[in-house]
Amino acid sequence: MLLGSLAILSLSGLILWRTKPETTRQAAWFGAVVPLAVLGWIWRRTVMLDATYHEHWTWLPSFNLDLTFRLDGLSLLFTVIILGIGAAVALYTHYYLEGDPRLGAFYLFLFLFMASMLGIVWSDNVLAFFVFWEGTTFTSYLLIGHGFSATASQRGARNALIVTGGGGLAMLAGFLLLGQATGDWTFSAWNAAPPAGADDMTTAALVLILLGAFTKSGQFPFHFWLPGAMAAPTPASAYLHSATMVKAGIFLVARTHPAFADHPAWLPVLVGFGAVTCAVSGVLAMTKTDLKGMLAYATLAQLGLLFVALGQSGKAALVAAVVGILAHALYKGPLFLSAGMIEHATGTRDIRRLAGQARPLWTVFIIVVASALSLAALPVWGGFLSKEYLLDSLLHLADTAWVAWLGLIGVLIGGTAFAWLAIAFVHRIFLRREPDAAVDRTHRLHPPAATMVAGPMALAVIGFTLPLTLDRWFQPLVQDAVSAISGEVQSVHVHLWGGFNAVFLLSLAALAAGTGAYLLGFRTLRVLHRGVDWVPSGDWLLERSLGLAARGASWISHGLQDLSLTSHISIVLGAAVLVVVLVANRLGSLFNPSDLRIVAESPVALWLEGTILLLSLMAALTVLASNNRLAPIIALSVVGLNVTLFFVLFAAPDLALTQLLVEVLVFVLIILILYKLPAAQPPRLPLGHKIRNIGIACVTGVFGFVLVLLASGRPRFEPISGEMIRATWLDAHGAANVVNVILTDFRGFDTFGEMTVIAIAGIGVYSLVRAYRFRPRRRPASE
Amino acid sequence: MTDSSNLANLLALFAIIPLCAAGGSLLIPRFQLLPRLHTHSLAALLAGIVNLILALWLMARTVQGTNLVLHVGGHHGPFGIVLVADVFSALLLLLTAVIYLGTVPFAIDVLDQRDRMGFYPLSLFLLMGVNGTFLAGDLFNLYVFFEILVITSFVLVTLGGQRDQIRGGLRFVVLNLLGSMVFLGAVAVAYGTLGTLNFAHIAVLLRQPNLPAWLVPMMAGLLFVAFAGKSALFPLHFWLPCSYHTTHPVVNALFGGLLTKVGLYSLFRLFPLLFPEQLAAWQPAFLALAGASMVVGTLGGLSGDTLRRALSFQIVSHIGFIFAGLALAGTRNGVLAVGLAPAILYLAHHMVVKTAVLMAGGAIELELQTGRVVPGPDGGTGGLLAHRQWLAIWFFLTALSLAGIPPFSGFTGKLGLLLLMISMEQWLLLAVAVLSSFVTLYMIMRLWQGAFWGAPPPVRNTDGPAAAPTRLGPGFGMLTLTPIAVLVGCSLLMGVFGESAWSVANQAAATLTDVEAYIDSVALAGHLADASH
């Protein structure tokens, strides 16, 4: 069923893509109905079950990768969020991107994303989890790059891909380490038998896995990609970068909670980074003027809060996390979509240019107010409940762990920022009379269509009524999710009101601080802004490091690649010489006389050989000494002819003849070429180059000498040539020349190959000559 | 099990068919048959199809565990030359056939009159050389096919006669001939001491007692230098980045898929067969070279200033990945098939995807008339997404596969290698591999983004006086896109049906490590066979 759901969603995406949804209204409804239908199907099939729902598809067992799905409370919570908000967003998108010719592609990526995200929350197998994780990374990349000609889209998409893609690879490495160490490849197995203690392997795996979670959920210092991703069309921002994808990191932490919660690093790392993210992003959110930018930083702060909650193990903290996830999806989604509607209607997203929209955009106003109650953490809405439980848990923890104080500070700063944001949204966009900055009068205000409002309105209403329904309808969902995170069955009842206690006072303080900051106005914020400008943003850091990496890469690769041909030749020769040097200590037996084949020769032959050798040496020296082009060629030919003489001496007339022919031909050819070339003297080499070349030549000479010595040593076994001579005599009916028989018969296939080589060389010469004769046309600059 | 019956004679067709097609097109004057088809391209197309059918047949036969052996000219090895086909050979022959047949339509689509000169016969010679390498059972015969490859590819590099092509081609041919020289040295040492050239016979003789202590390391070392040079393994890779990108896109795609693989094939074939203990003894050095190749190839890809240069340089890093598998497979207790299998899987993935991505990259360069798509200070964005939607889709999918993203073949191959590194506890190599995957992901996405995103190119002024010739060839169409799509499909199938691909890779690895079966199948003549037992 689960795999079928994924297939249905992907297929719907393909259908929407190919049927040009921008031309038909039905597409919007189709896009909204499919996720709801899938949700209904899953709900009917699973909520009846008391136990968790399992589904197993064998895929790549050799790689420990199977599609093992497991639908427990936590997964179900996320499934509801993904499909529910997905339906609202799909409906909304059609109106937001009306007339965009790439609407079909947007729908395709949106539905593929939906399927991948569901795959994440359903996968029990860790490698399948990674597969779907990458699916969300790439669909998110494509959605951010929807407006592909804008620089902001390109940069935002690239940064998101680098950060989340890199984190995904780190997470994979962590999974592989832990999987190989434990032999188990499912979360449920890891949770059932937590990896023992804090040994190096587990710690390394934990760090890598958390790297994946932190990058995906934009935790400090990886937070910068998320605001950049706001270049995506608003529906994508609302859906991926607020409600679902950025919570994948949260989900990963929740999923592995039972396995790692006892690890000594778990609590301080999660609470510490979460608190810092919450504080930093909260402050940054207050300094932004773009609606989506403000919401993006607020999302980061909320994600920080969730990490603070999940770093702890108490029931209260986990309830805070679950309620927080639910409440955040229900208020942040509508807020994002409202920002989109405001932009759609007024033509701007800059809060300084907005005012008095309560009457013209009254539907949006209702949505924003309903959501802002939860954002500001007013009792008794979702945001408040989550924070209440979290503060309670942190206060208890503060007795034993110092990091809880950090968590408290982070939560309070975040709470202040949330309150500020809620007031700013309601007051500045809708209630105040005059904007801060000039308004673009050319844009004709047009209120959003009812169908566009329907999705966000539904979400906002559910969020608004959450206090009433939480313990009635959502209680089983929350309870199962908390049980799934903690790894044991918990009984949960969310209390709407905890009484007047320290926790409530803290909540109140944050609310008051936010209101105060808002009343003080922008002057304080400008100071903040200046302070924030001081901190180098991750964006800038990434840009610099990418530039450095590119320059370093260019230096390394070009530095090596642009060396002279001589250097490259000496590297290849050096490698071969190195082999001889490496085995040199074993060469002892080589100089064992019994290994050398010493042929007894007559004194005449010895004299002859000595003379030839002397001639060759003189010719070789002439090559070195000469300064023009002709002399070394003649001298080299002399060396070649001397070799011919050796063949004659050793009674190999065929070889001598061949060698003679080749020498003469090559000599004539080179002389012909030289005759055509301009008669310039070759440049004089500097002394250093000369010494280097002499060195290379000498080393190569020694190398060749050793090779020849080795090759002409005493054979260990009877060579196959004996059989060849025998066969030539017997089978070839007395043919006298074994060389010919070898060339044409025994190894005729080789000869055939070598002849092909000659033919190809001929074609090459011909085509080069033709290419020069017909001057080429301009070619594309391929470097 | 061995089959040296009449059917084994068909092995010779892998060399003869390309040769006949090439020779035929050289002899028969070229004339146009259809608007896009003339005698030369038709010959290449037909030869490619027949070659693919043959390769499929061979795969079907060998996958059942039968080795096919052809004793050329009826002379039994080691006195004559043998051609041997097992699963590993058949797999590579099949991939070669697919890649070759994929590039022919691309060539028909984009080659213009001048570049067309000689491409088809030369590509057929290249096919012949690659096929022969994968079948050779004899050291000198292998050398001969290497020669065919070197000379053909040199001519192919310089096909346009451009200055940079000649410059790159010179370096290409000099460095490759040096490698051949070293190879020849190894052949001489082998024949001088062992008196034979046949792989199986050498394997038998190397097990005899009282061999000089230098012999095995010397032969292994020289052959390693020769083959590593052919594979473009660091630090013997310099010939590759200086020449590949200067070639015509069609040639580049063909090279990227086929050329370096002959070196890797030879390493995979000969080291487990002849020098298994050297693999273990030199493992640290080999792993260092593999890691260095990953780093240099990745950085080279990152610094590549044009699309095809980046994609070509990046081959070196894949070579590092594949070679790492071979190096890790060597243990004190012999070569492990389980180590070779992921490397073979990755090799297959690499051949298919590299060809596809180079074809797509070539199509982009032809369309934009420049390869400079990396966003730089001088701008340089492509904006092709609006015009070339399908090319964008296929290039994106190949990029995913190249970066090792599931469910493509790049993922399973890389996953297997990473698991291997972990089980061998090679932490440093693991870190290098993961980091280089990360940089590859960034690099390839930057290229994709540069080519397809950004402001769309202005509509070309075709009738104004300043209108330069707008295209190199007649543009590209379905003939280019279809092969890319087919290759992407292959990669996807290899990933989705990874279990089947894995079992074939495993089988290939098993045949490589099963030395006895290889020696038996070659069936050395008469008394020599006894020495093997």
Does position B285 have pLDDT exceeding 90, yes or no?
A: yes
pLDDT digits (tens, 9 = 90+) for A245-302: 899 999 999 999 999 988 888 999 999 999 999 988 888 888 888 889 889 999 999 9
| Per-residue confidence band for B464, with pLDDT thresholds at 50, 70 and 90 | very low
| In contact, A428 and A354? CB cutoff 8 Å | yes
- The pLDDT-based confidence of B320 (bands split at 50, 70, 90) is very high
- The tens digit of pLDDT for each residue in B95-124 reads 999 999 999 999 888 886 655 568 888 999
- With respect to residue B467, please indicate whether it lies within any of the assigned structural domains: no
Instruction: Give the confidence band of B302 by pLDDT, cuts at 50, 70, 90.
Output: confident
Q: Where are the beta strands (DSSP E) in A299-374?
A: none
Q: Pick the closest to residue A488 from A149, A761, A192 (CA basis).
A: A192
- A538 sits in which H/E element: helix A538-561
Question: Six-digit token pair at A555?
Answer: 């230096």
**pLDDT digits over B337-357, tens only?**
888 999 999 999 999 999 999
Read off the pLDDT of each residue in B309-335 and give the average, rounded to a whole number.
90
Beta strand pairing status for B67-71 and B82-85? antiparallel
Q: What is the pLDDT of residues B428-440, one digit of tens each?
A: 999 999 999 999 9
The answer to whether residue A779 scores a pLDDT higher than 60 is: no
- pLDDT of B457 > 50? The answer is yes
B-chain CB neighbours of A782 within 8 Å are 164, 245-246, 306, 308, 365, 371
pLDDT at residue B47, as a whole number: 95
Structural domain contains residue B95:
yes
Does residue B172 fall inside a structural domain?
yes
Q: Is residue B469 part of a domain?
A: no
Q: Is the peptide bond before B407 cis (omega within 30 degrees of 0)?
A: yes
- Residue A519: Cβ-neighbour burial (10 angstroms; 0-12, 13-18, 19+): exposed
Which of A203, A595, A782 would you mutate first to test chain B, the one with the most B CBs within 10 A? A782
Q: From CA A613, how far away is CA B170, in angstroms rounded? A: 33
For A180-237, what is each residue's pLDDT tens digit? 888 889 999 998 888 766 688 888 999 999 999 999 998 888 888 888 888 888 889 8
Q: What are phi and psi of A361, to 5 degrees?
A: -110, 55
pLDDT the model gives residue A534:
61
User: Pick the residue with more confidence: A727 or A421?
Assistant: A421
* Averaged pLDDT, B76-91: 89
- Probe site for chain A from B71, B142, B153, B441 (most A CB atoms < 10 A): B441
Band (pLDDT 50/70/90 cuts) for residue A177 is very high
Predicted pLDDT at A588: 62
Share of chain A above pLDDT 90, in %: 23
* Residue in B297, B373, B164, B247 with CA at minimum distance from that of residue A557: B297
pLDDT value of position B114: 55
| H/E segment holding residue B70 | strand B67-71
State pLDDT tens for residues B212-243: 888 888 899 999 999 999 999 988 999 998 88
In a domain? residue B462:
no
Residue A7: is its pLDDT beyond 50?
yes
pLDDT band at B406 (very low <50, low <70, confident <90, very high): confident
Terminal Cα distance for chain A, rounded: 54
Determine which of A518-527, A538-547, A769-778 has the lowest per-residue pLDDT on average.
A769-778
pLDDT at A397: 86
CB B32 within 8 A of CB B128: no
Total domains present in chain B: 1
DSSP labels for A17-39? HHT-GGG-THHHHHHHHHHHHHH
What is the average per-residue pLDDT within B86-95?
Answer: 95
Whole-number Å distance between alpha carbons of B19 and B44 = 10
**Chain A residues with CB-CB distance to B222 below 8 A:** 576, 579
**Is residue B473 pLDDT above 50, yes or no?**
no
d(CA A419, CA A404): 22
Position B315 in a domain: yes
For residue B66, give Cα distances in angstroms to A85, A561, B88, B199, B521: 58, 45, 12, 18, 9
Instruction: Give the residue-averaged pLDDT of B447-456.
Output: 81
B-chain residues within 8 Å CB-CB of A720?
Answer: 78-79, 195-197, 201
Q: Is the pLDDT of residue A780 over 60?
A: no
For residue B510, is pLDDT > 80?
A: yes
For all residues of chain A together, what is the average pLDDT?
84
Predicted ipTM beyond 0.85: yes
Confirm if A28 and A21 have CB atoms less than 8 A apart. yes
CA separation for the pair A411, A222 (Å, rounded): 19
Q: How near does any CA of chain A get to the CA of B56, in Å?
A: 24
Chain B CB contacts of A772 below 8 Å: 161
B223, closest residue in chain A (CA to CA): A576
CB A19 within 8 A of CB A86: no
The gap from C-alpha A586 to its chain's centroid, in whole angstroms, comes to 48
d(CA B297, CA A72): 45
* Whole-number pLDDT of residue B461: 43
* Owner of token pair 């920002």: A339
Residue B463 domain-assigned (yes or no): no
- Helix crossing, B389-402 with B478-496: angle to 10°? 30
- What tokens appear for A682 in the block? 């070759």
Distance from CA of A52 to the nearest CA of B (A): 27
- The reply to whether B50 falls in a domain is yes
The answer to whether the CB atoms of B192 and A712 lie below 8 A apart is yes
pLDDT at B378 over 70: no
In this prediction, residues A363-373 reach a mean pLDDT of: 90
Q: What is the DSSP string of B7-37?
A: GGGGGGHHHHHHHHHHHHHHHSPP-EEETTE
Identify which of B174, B212, B455 has the shortest CB distance to residue A589. B212
What is d(CA A132, CA B498) in angstroms, rounded to the nearest whole number?
17
At A115, the pLDDT band (50, 70, 90 cuts) reads very high
Q: Which residue type sits at A269?
A: V
- Choose, out of B151, B412, B426, B436, the residue to mutate when testing the contact with A (most A CBs < 10 Å): B151
- Find out whether A334 and A456 touch, Cβ atoms under 8 Å: yes
Does A351 have pLDDT greater than 90? no
pLDDT (mean) for A411-428: 89
Task: pLDDT band for A483, please (50, 70, 90 cuts).
Answer: confident
Question: Rounded to an integer, what distance in angstroms lies between the CA atom of residue A370 and that of residue A385?
Answer: 16
Judged against a pLDDT cut of 80, whether residue A164 lies above it is answered with yes
pLDDT at res. A197: 67
Residue B469 banded pLDDT, cuts 50, 70, 90: very low
Over B95-119, what HEC string results? HHHHHHHHHHHHHHHHCCHHHHCCH
The SS3 call for residue B505 is helix
Task: Show the domain range for B219.
Answer: 2-456+474-531
The whole-number pLDDT of residue A776 equals 47
- The DSSP result for B286-346, as a single string, is HHHHHHHHHHHHHHHHHH-SSHHHHHHHTHHHHHHHHHHHHHHHEETTEE-HHHHHHHHHH
Tell me what the pLDDT averaged over chain B comes to.
86
